[in-house]
Amino acid sequence: MILSIESSCDDSSVAITDIKTKKLIFHRKISQELEHAVYGGVVPELASRLHAEALPKILEECQPYFENVKAIAVTNAPGLAVTLIEGITMAKALSVSLDLPLIAVNHLKGHIYSLFIDKETLFPQTVLLVSGGHTQVIEVKSLNEMKTVAATMDDSFGESFDKVAKMMGLAYPGGPVIEKLAKEGNPKAYPFTIPLQQKKIFAFSYSGIKNAVRLAVEEGSEADYANIAASFQEVASEHLIRKIKKYLVEHPPKNFAIVGGASANLYLRNKVETMLAPYGAKLHLAELQYCSDNAAMIGRVAVEMYRAGDFISIEELQASPRAPL
Ligand code: KG4
Ligand code: ZN
């Protein structure tokens, strides 16, 4: 079995995955959403302290599996430096005390492998990764053949939901709150401009929408919030669709997947399904509980790395907060 640890942002999570069957044996996650909610976003130092409390608690529950564990895997990149270090420190301590090899897992690869928890892999995939930290389109041929073909130039898709929720004085994380509020509103009420429409570049941008929404919130009353949320969600999703649609004409997908915390958004999922219809491509989604950050997806990547003998020494294992895929 592999014991995997995730602490790249505000979720403390540990999982145990069977190397042979690739089955998830144990998975626990302690989310810090409530603690960060008062600040309207993640406070890195607070997150770090909470990981230091939560991770050892979860680890205690894993003790019955220790004798079967063959390697320790941990997210080392990308993420918040001070929170990555919490998971890495625990991984190193376990590696020394149990005399086990270490595996360093890229968090973005983890999100992609959330598609394959308790399943075999299926490639190629054109993947839309939408989370709090990332908005990317990635062409995936295998674990080590992943190419980012588009990314955001500023804010991410999920982050923009968090910021809009904060503007309205609503809870963190903003994604689920805004999606719920948007159901009561008219998506055409506010004609916010879709970004980068006239530009050929395959990239995303959310800072313009954010500023337009800020103005609407400041000028409107609380009674307008549902319409603002619905119009924001429409433009934020339509922006992704318009850009990806153009790309797909020249790169028709066999399999298309949405991963990351914001892949839980049903409004976006429906739009992507419609976009894919002409290609007959199947839409792949992770189970809802594995969309947001978790150690199960890190363990799933680690199983492949273990089989390939892809280990890292204790000295080499460091946090790389800004590392790409
Ligand atoms: O993947 P994740 O748990 O953490 C990162 O790696 O960033 O994603 C969290 C992000 C947050 O910004 C949250 O607001 C967003 O995903 N999110 C959503 C929805 N559920 C979560 N965004 C839009 N609609 C949702 N239903
Ligand atoms: Zn994530």
CA 189 / ligand 2 centre spacing (Å): 32
Please tell me whether the overall predicted TM-score, pTM, comes out greater than 0.75 for this model: yes
CATH number of the domain residue 28 falls in:
3.30.420.40
Statement to judge: residues 150 and 263 lie in one domain:
yes
pLDDT of residue 40: 86
Residue 92, domain member (yes or no): yes
Domain coverage including residue 139: 125-285
Q: Has residue 313 been placed in a domain?
A: no
CA–CA distance, 269 with 104 (Å, rounded to integer): 31
- Are residue 296 and residue 264 in the same domain, yes or no? no
Q: Are residues 144 and 31 in the same domain?
A: no
Does ligand 1 lie within 6 Å of residue 161's CB atom?
Answer: yes
- Residue 172 has a pLDDT of 92
Ligand 1, atom 10: nearest CA belongs to which residue?
132
Do 223 and 104 fall into the same domain?
Answer: no
Number of structural domains found in the chain: 2
Please write the tens of the pLDDT for every residue from 256-289: 999 999 999 999 999 999 999 999 999 999 999 9
Asked whether the bond before 124 is cis by omega within 30 degrees of 0, the reply is yes
pLDDT digit string, tens, across residues 44-59 = 999 999 999 999 999 9
Tens-place pLDDT, residues 73-115? 999 999 999 999 999 999 999 999 999 999 999 999 999 999 9
Same domain, 28 and 90: yes
**Is there a single domain that holds both residue 228 and residue 168?**
yes
Distance CA 290, CA 259 (A): 9
Are 100 and 72 within 8 A, CB to CB? yes
d(CA 256, CA 207): 26
Q: Residue 208: what pLDDT? A: 97
Give the bridge partners for 308, in sequence order.
none
H or E stretch including 103? strand 102-106
Mean pLDDT for all residues in the chain = 97
Please indicate, yes or no, whether residues 16 and 141 belong to a single structural domain of this protein. no
Does any ligand 1 atom lie closer than 6 A to the CB of residue 262?
yes
β-strands 282-285, 145-151: how paired?
unpaired
Task: Note whether 14 and 97 are same-domain residues.
Answer: yes
41 lines ligand 1 (CB under 6 A): no
User: Strand order in 282-285's β-sheet?
Assistant: 145-151, 135-142, 125-130, 255-259, 282-285
Q: Domain check: are 139 and 218 in the same one?
A: yes
Beta strand pairing status for 2-6 and 71-77? parallel
The answer to whether residues 231 and 153 belong to one domain is: yes
Ligand 1 atom at minimal distance to the Cα of residue 158: 12
Same domain, 155 and 265: yes
Give nearest CA residue, ligand 1 atom 7: 132
Contact indicator for 137, 270 with CB cutoff of 8 Å:
no
Same domain, 244 and 164: yes
DSSP string, 235-247: HHHHHHHHHHHHH
Write the pLDDT tens digit of every residue in 143-167. 999 999 999 999 999 999 999 999 9
Residues, Cβ < 5 Å to ion ligand 2: 131, 293
Assigned domain for 210 exists: yes
